[in-house]
Amino acid sequence: MGELARLKVLTRPFVRRRYLASTSAPKLHLGCGSRVEPGWLNADKFARGADTYVDAYRRLPFADDTFAVVLCEHMIEHMRIEKVPAFLREVHRVLRPGGVFRVSCPDLALFSARYVAGDAEFFAPILSQFARRRATPDDVRYWGVRSLGGAFMSRAYFHHHRWMYDFATLGPVLEELGFRRVVQQAYREGLAPEAAALDNPERAFESLYIDAIK
């Protein structure tokens, strides 16, 4: 599927020009996956249904100060940790002055607090999900996801996750890279309502939400 998505590199200049000509407040949805949102330029490395192909490990194929809003929902945890600062620097570059970057991911601080508190209700959706996966007899990858600790570790290991973040980690990094205001937000609350409105309700219980203004 990734190779088919890559073919969209050929049409990327046309798609980009057409989209930017259609709106005075362009919005970039990075790592959109199968979620293609109207009114946004939906970009992904692997999803064939995305509007355009973008590799987050490379320079973003957009001019400086292009977008009013950039949304990155549950993507950053999939990236190699050493690549994240350059990616965030690129997001800052393509945002307009005053533009908003909304980023979400599993919240390490929340998971840690709920684990220490022994909060079975918090981890129940994760344990239920992996119980169904363990029902497949020849798939032993998920045997350890049967306790609160296993549910915690699922967010650091499974789903091709490479890292976990909290606000104390991402906030200072965003400030160091030039964002003038960085705010931790709640589910579907934010400085760019059109981005906050797209917060996935299925991920609300576990997510860290950050808005950063250029």
2-106+165-213 domain in CATH 3.40.50.150?
yes
Cα–Cα separations (whole angstroms), residue 93 to 37, 157, 208: 23, 31, 23
Residue type, 112: S
Residue with tokens 């992904």: 44
Q: What is the pLDDT of residue 7?
A: 63
In terms of pLDDT, which residue wins out, 120 or 132? 120
Contact 31, 44 (CB under 8 A): yes
Whether the predicted pLDDT of 136 surpasses 90: no
Residue 144 tokens, joined: 């350890």
Q: What distance in Å separates the CA atoms of residue 39 and residue 27, rounded to the nearest whole number?
A: 7
> Given the DSSP bridges, would you call strands 207-213 and 67-73 parallel, antiparallel or unpaired?
unpaired
Whether the predicted pLDDT of 166 surpasses 80: yes
Whether the predicted pLDDT of 154 surpasses 70: yes
Q: Is the pTM of this model over 0.85?
A: yes
Where are the chain's structural domains?
A: 2-106+165-213, 109-157
For 4-55, write each residue's pLDDT tens digit.
566 677 788 899 999 999 999 999 999 999 999 999 999 999 888 999 999 9
In terms of pLDDT, which residue wins out, 105 or 1? 105
Provide the mean pLDDT of the chain. 93
